Amino acid sequence: MTIGKKIGIGAGATVLLGAMVAFTVYQSHKNVVTVQTGKAAREDLSSVVSASGEIKPRTYVNIGANAFGKITKLYVKEGDRVKRGQLLAQLEDVQPEADLNATEASLEAARTDALAAEAALATSKADLDRAKSDAAKSELDWKRAQALYKDALIPKSEYDTQNASHQAAVAGLAQAESRVAQAQAQKESADRRITQNRANLTHAADVLRKTSYSAPFDGMITNLPVREGETVVIGIQNSPGSTLMTLADMSVITAEVQVDETDIVNVQMGQPADITIDAIPNKVFKGKVTQIGDNAIVRSTGVSTSQSEAASQEAKDFKVVVTLQDPPQDLRPGLSATAKITTATRNAALTIPIQALTVRREADLQEDKNEKGSVQAATKPQISKQDEKKEIQGVFVIRNHKAQFVTVQTGIAGTTDIEVLSGLKQGDEIVTGSYKVLRTLRPGTSVKIDNSAPKKEEDENS
């Protein structure tokens, strides 16, 4: 055999061997899935509920009209800070003041009448005492005359005179008693007129007082919808009255936010919160939860479910009030705000990226075991229909270049990570992406790790 033939045979063998190796490598990589991974690590974790709303003072009052009349003077303007008791507005008070003066005069007249009635009662009682004395004396004279007339010691005319005197004294006593009763009734009537006039005076004073409006507490005028010269009315039944102004106590400021119904179960009184205000960028205010609403509010209408007659399947929120600590002086009610409420914290918790979590049905996991030969078809356990639909939460752990599904129990969730309570240990490498891979990845699949920056979706589809 010539040297050329030997070289040709060697080259052919080399090419054949290379083809066999290439085919073997191709077959080994045929079912390999490229994945992105991360590791279970320990870190401090906080669970945060975010909600938006607006700035509101904890205490505010709409000062409404308590009387009908024209505004003669406004002593404040919108944005003014006032002190408790400071005069805010004045309505026309000519007629109420005249009514008050007339009632005061009537009260004084009633008091004078009461004094006169009291004096008349005293006079009547004195006359009654004199009548009683006269009646007693005439009775003694009458009894003495009866005895003397019986013994024929006095004439019949004197006897008749004593009898008449006695009857007159008895009649005078009855008349004096009647005058006392009449004077007593007049005294009581005068006292009742005093009481009546006092009530009228209280009413007139109240009407007059309602024409002047003073600040019930220290605060700021946040709304002033009226002007001097306008006529205001009081509310009646279903018709609201005029609102003169709104006074807010700006010493205690709150952020009233709407928390989604899925998060409200984690919110509790006293939890800390970070508040950001759109009008004051790049600044975070501290606060804490001070009130949690009990009734759900329909998101689309803002009406409480307790006020709605029909049940609604719309999204619902709950009102949560967060009180700010050390609020700035220039805050105004109605500013848009966002509160991030810390509902739970964990120190050195075992965490994984949230996107690594996936779910698989019990039936799918059982089929994968059967296909891998871990369970023979003849001894395949029977799974109920309910268990077939049961979903199991877990992650795919990289072991021997394969993805193994591991069931995990989770705790609180942060912004990007979630706490793992069982199923993993620190340092375990888990599959974190891509989303398409996690959705279709099967246990036991061979994987190739590629943690380089993922391509854009449009590049993958091209």
Residue 155 CB-density burial (10 A; 0-12 exposed, 13-18 middle, 19+ buried)? exposed
Q: Is residue 36 part of a domain?
A: yes
CA gap 214, 65 in Å, rounded: 12
Apex CA 419: angle with CA 418 and CA 424, to 5°? 110
338 and 377 fall within a common domain: no
Query: Confidence class of residue 397 from pLDDT cuts 50, 70 and 90?
Result: very high
Considering the chain, what is the average pLDDT of its residues? 85
pTM of the predicted structure, to 2 decimals: 0.63
- Structural domains of the chain, count: 3
Query: Confidence class of residue 303 from pLDDT cuts 50, 70 and 90?
Result: confident
Q: Which residue has the higher pLDDT, 219 or 9?
A: 219
- Summarised one tens digit per residue, pLDDT across range 147-196 is 887 887 888 888 888 888 888 888 988 998 898 899 899 989 999 999 99
293 Cα distance to chain centroid? 5
Phi first, then psi: give them for residue 219, nearest 5 degrees: 180, -165
Residue 309 sits in a domain whose CATH number is 2.40.30.170
**Residue 377 confidence (pLDDT):** 45
Q: What percent of the chain has pLDDT over 70?
A: 84
CA gap 186, 180 in Å, rounded: 10
Query: Confidence class of residue 135 from pLDDT cuts 50, 70 and 90?
Result: confident
330 and 387 fall within a common domain: no
399 and 340 fall within a common domain: no
CA-closest candidate to residue 211, choices 67, 61, 64, 76: 67
Q: Is residue 327 part of a domain?
A: yes
414 Cα distance to chain centroid? 27
Q: Which residue has the tokens 């984690």?
A: 266
327 and 373 fall within a common domain: no
116 and 205 fall within a common domain: yes
Q: Is residue 369 part of a domain?
A: yes
Residues 381-388, mean pLDDT to the nearest whole number: 56
309 and 269 fall within a common domain: yes
171 and 106 fall within a common domain: yes
Instruction: Assess whether pLDDT exceeds 70 at residue 367.
Output: no
Residue 412 sits in a domain whose CATH number is 2.40.420.20
321 and 374 fall within a common domain: no
Task: Give SS3 for 221.
Answer: strand
262 and 361 fall within a common domain: no
Q: Is residue 337 part of a domain?
A: yes
- Where is the domain boundary, 183, 209, 235? 209
Q: Is residue 240 part of a domain?
A: no
Instruction: Assess whether pLDDT exceeds 90 at residue 292.
Output: yes
**Residue 104 confidence (pLDDT):** 93
Q: Which residue has the higher pLDDT, 98 or 306?
A: 98
Task: Give SS3 for 82.
Answer: strand
196 and 263 fall within a common domain: no
389 and 326 fall within a common domain: no
Contacts of 189 (CB under 8 A, 6+ apart): 117
- Where is the domain boundary, 314, 345, 376? 345
**Residue 451 confidence (pLDDT):** 85
355 and 335 fall within a common domain: no
Residues 35-53, mean pLDDT to the nearest whole number: 93
Residues 294-318, mean pLDDT to the nearest whole number: 77
Q: Is residue 419 part of a domain?
A: yes
- Where is the domain boundary, 300, 318, 345? 345
User: Between the CA of residue 287 and those of 1, 20, 258, 261, what are the distances in Å?
Assistant: 95, 70, 16, 21
**Residue 162 confidence (pLDDT):** 84
Q: Which range of residues forms the domain containing residue 292?
A: 51-58+253-345
Per the document, the length of the chain is: 462
